[in-house]
Structure 1
């Protein structure tokens, strides 16, 4: 009988998708504080921030630019030479394979770093047990998020992600890339005050730079002055956080 073939030839389980990798930096001394790391850039991001430094990674493409198994082989050869591997993007929490990829890298003995904008708090919570350090990108005051991301109702997910991190035992910093046409000095200070009030201990302000960025819709120079956002603003932010840093390049 035809239905009996279901028992004789059971369907094979669906093939588990591998992480979609858009690029890799084999060595970095700046992407994980105090650690020498490789950085894996994951394809895809739900947002369209105008000052994004990796616009080529925004689209979620059918194929991975770098084969995941080949990348694992490469990392295996770097055991003892690197301290950590950082998953960045794009937005790594968009990828359903992130958890399995992190566990595979951790089994090699590396510390795990994660750069995320907090777009998928459920997946962030899922991978937290295997992550040692997180850089959480906070775009702006939450009521102004949509103007940065160019997507509606985009603030709820990162706010939830921040609340998760504040309630979990994981080392993390919040960081904000600020652009003079999108973030006034007053709004920069207001954002810092809000993060302080929520309980954030580590905060970094990253001054926008044009190199590698799709910034056509902003000003002609696309570059913040050395004075931006102002000495007084930075001094006041310094007072709010036990760990505060300004990054200009």
Structure 2
């Protein structure tokens, strides 16, 4: 299930010290994916759960949280649920990075209080999810559920800005689809490691362009704020 591990992170869980575990496999195919070795993970060795629990036991009251990323973690929900329950019993916070394509599991785990923070990748306008081989309607259900919970600590929405998919008009459409969100994070795509080789030939937007677009969209006041990471 887990094929990658960053044992200490200061940035993956906002304002918390965390360890980051990466699950294998993904049901999307984003051409700009930076973790493509996890999407196609045959060459990666599986990390034993006993090793993870031993690490965590030694860091109770030293680490704040465990981030579970991927790949797509919710592809492994059956195995993940008892793992998360045990980690929570040890006193750690849980953050899940997800593409949002399993709304039923988000609702179920939210009601069970298993997850402290959901980080949902909002990739493109819902009607254009075929660009990443995904189901936009499922992502829409996930995001609307989290927005209607109306708690700033429960979720974050983030978008990787990829020039083939995004321009000011696209981002404006996406803004209106998440009206009421507390914050929308943007991050520029990196062309040094990509799932699709052709994506490595794409030049990222400049910081000046992204800042200009951010300022223009913030005027609409549809979300609390747009921030660039």
Return the TM-score normalized by structure 2.
0.88
Q: 1:150 and 2:147 equivalent?
A: no
Unaligned 5+ residue runs, structure 1? 1-19
Task: Answer yes or no: is the 8 Å Cα contact 2:26–2:75 preserved in 1.
Answer: yes
Q: State which of 25, 38, 42 in structure 2 corresponds to 1:57.
A: 38
Displaced runs of 4+ in structure 1, greater than 6 A?
none
Offset at 1:103? Answer: 0.9
CA-based RMSD of the aligned residues comes to 2.1
Report the Cα distance in structure 2 between the residues aligned to 1:136 and 1:211, rounded to whole angstroms. 23
Q: State which of 120, 129, 133 in structure 1 corresponds to 2:117.
A: 133
What is the aligned partner in structure 2 of residue 235 from structure 1? 215
What is the aligned partner in structure 2 of residue 97 from structure 1? 79
Report the Cα distance in structure 2 between the residues aligned to 1:244 and 1:179, rounded to whole angstroms. 17
Alignment deviations for residues 33-57 of structure 1 (CA, whole Å, 9 cap, x no partner): 1111111111111111001111111
Instruction: Report the structure number with the largest CA radius of gyration.
Output: 1
How has the CA–CA distance of structure 1 residues 94 and 61 changed in structure 2, closer, same or farther, with 3 Å as cutoff? farther
Q: What is the SS of the residue equivalent to 1:227? A: helix
Offset at 1:244? Answer: 2.8
Unaligned 5+ residue runs, structure 2? none
Q: What is the SS of the residue equivalent to 2:119? A: strand
Offset at 1:224? Answer: 3.0
Q: What is the SS of the residue equivalent to 1:158? A: helix
Return the TM-score normalized by structure 1.
0.81
Which residues in structure 2 correspond to 1:10-89 (within 5 Å)? 20-59=1-40, 65-89=46-70
Q: What is the SS of the residue equivalent to 1:145? A: helix
Alignment deviations for residues 127-169 of structure 1 (CA, whole Å, 9 cap, x no partner): 221111111110111111111x135xx1121111112212335
What is the aligned partner in structure 2 of residue 8 from structure 1? none
What is the aligned partner in structure 2 of residue 200 from structure 1? 181
Q: State which of 168, 174, 179 in structure 2 corresponds to 1:191.
A: 174
Q: What is the SS of the residue equivalent to 1:175? A: strand
